[in-house]
Structure 1
Amino acid sequence: MTDSLFILRLSNNNLSGNVVPAILKANGVKNVYLDGNSFSGEMTNIDVSTFEFPILLMKIDLSNNKLYGKLLRWIGNMSILQTLDLSNNSFEGSIPMKFCSSTYLKFLDLSQNNLSGSIPSCFNPPHIEHVHLHGNRLNGPLPLAFYNSSSLVTLDLRGNNLNGSIPKWIGTLSSLSVLLLKANHLQGRIPDQICKLYSLSIIDLSQNMFFGPIPSCLGKLTLPKTNEKIIIRGNFGLVSEKDESTIFGLSKLGRLRNFDYLTSYMEEWIEFTTKSGFYSYGGYILEDMAGIDLSSNKLTGQIPPELGNLSEIHSLNLSHNNLIGVIPSSFSKLKQLESLDLSYNNLSGEIPNQLVELNSLEVFSVTHNNLSGSISEPKAQFGTFDESSYEGNPFLCGPMLHKSCSKTDSPSTVSTASNDGDEDSLLDIYVFRVSFLVSYAVMLVTTFAVLYINPYWRRVWFSLVEKFITTCRYSTAGNFLAYYIFRFRRCV
């Protein structure tokens, strides 16, 4: 192989075989893109100390192949490695501790493999920007590996078995723009420290077991647009037009033409659920994306009105929680919002009419809540939503739901309160009567018991009764009472 070969790109072909030894022995090659082929075999541990020249690979992309076995420990010996993509293969075992010595590593993608164990706590490259480990079987709590990592832009740990809570040191990741923790076993409260991440634009904490209220401070996030998410930058050195001859490219995407294209070839891509679908965002589309997904947790309390300050947000999903209260009217300020999902909660009250001002809204769902009143007037974007956006709210009404909002057809708050009041009145009367009869019976029993047991009070009682009879002796009641008093005295 020629010593002048600088970049080898054979992506998206039908190549097969074991490619690792050939890569390592390619003198002078710094960037290797062999993704999207059928390379197979085990990534055996090779003794790189026996090589006649140092390994100067800076970028390795072996994603979307059929490689298997344990991850290669010799990667830690690549002193200038900046980009490593081994995603969508069948690697297994744990992440080797040797990865901790990858000082210049900026991009790491080991997603969609069968990796297990915990993330090494020593793994904290000083220049790391993008970490993708989703779709594995990694477990344990979030490690200190990323503590105080000021360069980290993307942290994608979705679809693993991570547990514990989000540590408070999350606030030290000052450059973090994308935080994806979906579908793990994380729990606890969402810490306020997450609000210190002023560069955050995409947050996905869905399908976990977080509880407690939604931090109101999330409304302070500016959801900035950032170019740092787009290109995985690396030090290619200076390449002039005459150096194009050093580039060997046979990929289906065509011949590489200039240095700008080389630097942007490997773009940052993330996956995010919005608009009732699962989408991939990369390049300049990712640059413009901003969203928050807190769905399928155990969050409680009211929706913070402060979320209405997220003016740049495109997607907000708070569905499948235990949220109560009303839908904040401040949501009318979310002019960029394209998807709003508040379904499967315990929200009450009316849908704010101000939401009709959301002209960018494409997907809207408030299904299965306790909302009441008339739905928003079907104009602008709200004219595109059908009854499926409102089902599961028995007290909502309106022409779209084929249900009149008249008092006879829809129970209003006043009539409901009146009915409740009538039921309460009947209940109070019933309770009063029962308690009166019981108290009267207890008084009689107590009186007769005292008279029977205590001679003193018995004499006093009969004395009073005799005076009463003397006063009323000419009445029928007096004669009747005298007869029974006489009988009672004989008994006691």
Structure 2
Amino acid sequence: MTSLKLLDISDNLFTGNLSSYLLQRLPSSLEFIDLRHNNFQGLYSFSYIGNYSKLEVFMLTGYKDKLQIDAQSLGWSNPMFQLKALVLSDLSISSIPEFLFHQRWLRVIDLSHNKLKGEFPVWLMQNNSNLKFMNLRNNSFAGQLIYLPSYQMHMVWLDLSNNHFIGKLPKDIGDKLPNLQYLNLSWNQLGGALPSSLGSMQDLFGLDLAFNNFLGEVPKELLTSCTNLQQLLLSHNKLGGKFFSSEFNLSNLMRLELNNNEFTGNLSNVKIETLAILDVSNNNMTGPIPTWINTVSWAISMRNNSFEGQFPCQQLMSPLFFLDLSHNFLSGPLPSCIDFTTIVEIHLEGNKFTGLLQDFLPNSSSSLSVLNLKDNSLSGFIPDLIGTFLNLKILLLGNNHFKGLIPEALCLLENINKMDLSSNSFSGTIPSCLQNLSFGVIENYGETLAQHLISYDILFTDQNRMYGDLLKKNLNFFIDVEAIGVSEIYLVNKNIGSSYKGKTLNFMSALDISCNDLTGEIPQELGTLTHIHALNLSHNQLMGHIPIPLSKLANIESLDLCCNNLIGKIPPELANLSFLAVFNVSYNNLSGEIPLPMMKPQLTTFDKSSYEGNQFLCGPPLEKSCINDIETPSLKSSPSDATKGKWYEIDLTAFLASFWPAYLVFFLLMVSLLCINPHWLRSLYFVDHYHSKLVTTFKIWCYSRYQVVEAF
């Protein structure tokens, strides 16, 4: 194909080596080569494309570090071509290829997801005055952004995120890049105040400055002039002040993330009806929640603020995926306007909500995965309709005023991973049907939301070339939505309250029914929950023995049975729980020796606080010895006996050593008296007759006493 100009084999599953045999035999007429998103492996050299004098577009990406770039080719600097677009992503390149120093026509440069170091390569902008797109995301560039070329008029996309840039932003950044449409400087170490010249970028539709150290107030020029902004991400900085002022003019926002800052004020001064994502969590915002919040169509996160009053339900909320109002001062009934046909996660923890759960839940929901109502003032019973929420993975109802029996309808939640019913007033027994629950690993937690990505087409077409539309197709770039749908779950595990979020939730499973009024025995069936990591049954009125089947909880890390009425011995089989980091059986009525298997002394690795409060328990790590201080519930000594020793504690050697000399002295004394008095001598045959019987009887008595001692 000697006239071939365009070769596009991207987005397939091709494997093997990109050898010189293939690439050097392609026709020299090629202008466009796209090899991205395949499974190529081996070693690749840039010199393979050195002879393509008409080449304008070259795109190559790696796959799981299987495709390596020949280090010597990084120093190759004699190209015959002038590129317009170059994409070299995910190739573990440690230095910028030298042939780039000779390029002057670049419009697109993507060196993202490599291992590039050094200062910001401003020379790429200087050498290529028509550069429109620069992506250096996820490298190791460092230093300050103190200099930008004057009036880089054509630049529309700049992504320098996930690097190590420091210092302040240039004060004139907006004046030098006035046509910028997307700017991403997130995940660096930039600081200082935001320059007011950002307001000069009036074409901006995306600005991401999250995860830096910016401080002060957001410039009013940005909030009033950049009216085309569709996404504004300022989270995880030190910004403050009243963000939503009367001058706020960003009415086209689709995504607004201000979380983890120090913003104050309220939401009543503005009205944004285009929002799909709103995150103002972890700030100092106050006031009521406005009614326009019901128009947000994807995710709402307002946790850890001081919002108050009732949630406005004058109209049905838009079909949300994610709602988090945790840790505010909201009161009244739970929001009744939530659309349960689409909602995946509901977090209302740490407020003052009241009312009954059955008034809040619909008859069923096939989408709900997380229901977090902890730390409120809810009352009544758990309705049986909870069993219809078959996709529920996390159910947190702890620290409310629920009462009654734990319903067996909970046993229908076969996908449950975390269940917290602690600190309520549940009574009755623990349902044995809980064995039906998996408490296994959550698969793909949060990905239900993350799969909805926002993409933008960047129009880098060349109308004079036959491949113009194809180039446009190959430059659709997705904007990451990493943080949305990832909220925190607070659980007590290993006696420590910890927050779990994102992917860490995938590997933590727990059942907590502590601090209730539960009675009866611990069901043997709980031993089938082999995937569970934390089991807390403490502070109840449970009776009976510790079930031996609990030793089958192979993945258990925390087992808390304290403050109940359990009796009997600690099963030595529990020593097989090799992942056990917290074990607490304190303040029960357990007895006997703490198991000390020679091969697996697991239960003796915990301190005495794990066992205290059991009067008849002994052995390490307790100070009470099982040899010298044996005491059982059926045999108690009085306080006065405790200082005198036990009646059965006889030293047999000392007893015999003192008896036989005394016996011999007595015998010789009797013989002497008989020899002196003849009258007594006549009675000697009585002594001779009964002497052997006396000795035999004494030996039998001594032996019986010895057996008693041995028995004790």
With the shorter chain as reference, the TM-score category is 0.7 to 0.9
- Bigger shift: 186-195 or 62-71? 62-71
Distance of 1:260 and 1:319 partners within structure 2: 47
- Measure how far apart 1:227 and its partner are: 3.0
The C-alpha deviation readout for 1:84-108, integer Å capped at 9, x for no partner, is 011111111111114x622320111
Identify which of 42, 46, 49 aligns with 2:266: 42
Q: Does 1:392 align with 2:613?
A: yes
Q: CA RMSD in A?
A: 2.6
Change (3 A) 1:129 1:338: same
Query: Is the partner of 1:307 in helix, strand or coil?
Result: helix
Pair 1:326-2:512 in alignment: no
For 1:7-53, what per-residue CA distance to the aligned partner results, in whole angstroms no more than 9, with x for missing partners? 211112232333336898425432111112222223217567xxxxx
Question: 512, 519, 522: which one pairs with 1:300?
Answer: 519
Is the deviation greater in 110-119 or in 383-392? 383-392
1:61 is aligned to 2:279: yes
- SS in structure 2 of the partner of residue 319 of structure 1: coil
Amino acid across the alignment from 1:32 = L
Q: Which residue does the alignment assign to 1:208?
A: 424
Aligned to 2:629: 409
The CA distance in 1 between the partners of 2:568 and 2:409, in whole Å, is 32
1:435-491 deviation per Cα after TM superposition (whole angstroms, max 9, x unaligned) = xxxxxxxxxxxxxxxxxxxxxxxxxxxxxxxxxxxxxxxxxxxxxxxxxxxxxxxxx
1:8 aligns to 2:232 (yes or no):
yes
CA–CA distance in 1 between the matches of 2:257 and 2:623?
59
User: How is 1:192-203 mapped onto 2 (pairs within 5 angstroms)?
Assistant: 192-203=408-419
Of the candidates 326, 348, 352, which is equivalent to residue 137 of structure 1? 352
* Residue in 1 that maps onto 2:288: 70
Q: Deviation at 1:178?
A: 0.6
> SS at the partner of 1:75?
helix
| Contact preservation (8 Å) 2:304, 2:328 | yes
Question: Which residue number corresponds to residue 316 of structure 1?
Answer: 535
Could you say if the C-alpha distance between residues 305 and 286 of structure 1 is closer, same or farther in structure 2, counting changes exceeding 3 Å?
A: same
Shift, 1:74, TM fit: 1.2
Please identify, of 215-224 and 144-153, the stretch whose mean Cα deviation from structure 2 is larger. 144-153
Counterparts in 2 of 1:30 and 1:227: CA distance versus 1, 3 Å? farther
Q: CA 1:229–1:207 in structure 2 vs 1: closer, same or farther (change >3 Å)?
A: same
Residue 260 of structure 1: CA displacement? 7.7
Partner of 2:327: 112
Q: Does 1:338 align with 2:562?
A: no
Aligned to 1:268: 487
1:254-305 per-residue CA deviation (whole Å, 9 max, x = no partner) reads xxxx848424555232110010110111222110110011111111000001
| Unaligned residue ranges in structure 2 (runs of 5+) | 1-201, 207-229, 461-476, 637-712
Distance 1:243 1:210, change over 3 A: farther
Unaligned runs of 5+ in 1: 49-54, 245-257, 417-492
Q: d(CA) in 2 for partners of 1:42 and 1:184?
A: 29
In structure 2, relative to structure 1, the CA distance for the partners of 1:172 and 1:392 (3 Å cut) is same
Q: Residue 163 of structure 1 aligns with which residue?
A: 379
**Aligned length, in residue pairs:** 394
Question: Which residues of 2 match residues 61-100 of structure 1 at below 5 A?
Answer: 61-78=279-296, 81-98=297-314
State the SS of the aligned residue for 1:116: strand
State the SS of the aligned residue for 1:111: coil
Listed as ranges, the matches of 1:115-130 within 5 Å are: 115-130=330-345
- Counterpart CA distance in 1 for 2:340 and 2:539 is 37
Q: 1:106 to 1:23 in 2, by over 3 A?
A: farther
Question: Normalized against structure 1, the TM-score is what?
Answer: 0.75
Separation (CA, whole Å) in 2 of partners of 1:16 and 1:236: 30
Among the aligned pairs, what percent are the same residue? 41
Residue of structure 1 equivalent to 2:449: 233
Q: Secondary structure at the match of 1:401?
A: coil
8 Å contact from structure 1 (residues 183, 206) kept in 2:
yes
Give the counterpart of 1:358 among 571, 577, 594: 577
The yes-or-no answer on 1:32 pairing with 2:256 is yes
Distance 2:357 2:423 in 1: 16
Task: Give the SS at the match of 1:301.
Answer: coil
Q: What amino acid sits opposite 1:74 in the alignment?
A: W
Q: Given that residues 374 and 400 in structure 2 are in contact (C-alpha distance below 8 angstroms), is that contact kept between their aligned partners in structure 1? A: yes
Question: Could you tell me how far apart the structure 2 residues matched to 1:230 and 1:22 are?
Answer: 36
Offset of residue 77 of structure 1: 3.3
Aligned to 1:302, what secondary structure does the other structure show?
A: coil
The alpha-carbon deviation at position 410 of structure 1 amounts to 2.4
SS in 1 for 2:406: coil
Higher helix content, 1 or 2: 1
Q: For the structure 1 residues 20 and 304, does the alpha-carbon distance in structure 2 shift closer, same or farther, using more than 3 Å as the test?
A: same
> How far apart are the structure 2 equivalents of 1:234 and 1:356?
42
Q: Partner of 1:374 in structure 2? A: 593
TM-score where L is the length of structure 2 = 0.52
Q: Which residue of 1 aligns with 2:496?
A: 277
User: 1:76: Cα distance to partner?
Assistant: 1.9
TM-fit CA distance, 1:315: 0.4
Contact 1:46-1:74 at 8 Å conserved across structures? no
Q: What is the CA–CA distance in structure 2 between the aligned matches of 1:226 and 1:376, rounded to whole Å?
A: 35
Larger CA Rg, structure 1 vs 2: 2
CA shift, 1:121, in A, is 3.3
1:442 is matched with: none
| 1:226 positional shift | 2.2
| CA distance in 1: counterparts of 2:446 and 2:373, whole angstroms | 19
- The aligned residue for residue 383 of structure 1 is 604
Per-residue CA shift, 1:235-269, capped at 9, x if unaligned? Answer: 7455269599xxxxxxxxxxxxx848424555232
User: 1:249 maps to what in 2?
Assistant: none
Q: In the TM superposition, what is the alpha-carbon distance from 1:158 to its structure 2 partner?
A: 0.9
Counterpart amino acid of 1:65?
A: N
Distance 2:444 2:620 in 1: 48
The one-letter code of the counterpart of 1:363 is V
User: Which has the bigger relative contact order, CA under 8 A and spacing at least 6?
Assistant: 1
Q: 1:152: which partner in 2?
A: 368
Alignment CA distance shift 1:23-1:411 (3 Å): farther
- Conserved? CA contact 1:216–1:304, under 8 Å: yes
**Separation of aligned partners in 2, 1:21 and 1:176:** 40
Does structure 1 retain, via aligned residues, the 8 Å contact 2:244–2:270? no
Distance 1:266 1:23 in 2: 30
Q: Counterpart of 1:331 in 2: which secondary structure?
A: helix
